[in-house]
Amino acid sequence: MAFNAMWKPGPDAAAAMHVNGNTTQPALVIYLDPDSLAIMPPRDQDEWPGFIRLMHELRDGATDVADHLSRAIHRNGDT
């Protein structure tokens, strides 16, 4: 099942790890101001290696986007 979504983050957007409810299982939560998106690991620990890989890819992809935008700002003479 495919899921595509697009949000424009508000001024107070942030991302953080959040421990969900009464469990000790963390989730990556992206607070988009005002909406939020939680990405939770699978319940089956056998599936965690693939989820960990995805978390690393999200981290790396976010770094790539931030670096690209930073270079664009500097090329345009903005600081």
Per residue in 16-59, pLDDT tens? 999 977 777 899 999 999 999 999 999 999 999 999 999 999 99
| Whether pTM exceeds 0.85 | no
DSSP-assigned letters across all residues of 39-68: E---SSGGGHHHHHHHHHHHHHHHHHHHHH
Segments making up each domain of the chain, as ranges? 1-40, 41-79
pLDDT at 79 over 60: no
Alpha carbon distance 78, 37 (integer Å): 31
pLDDT of 24 reads 79
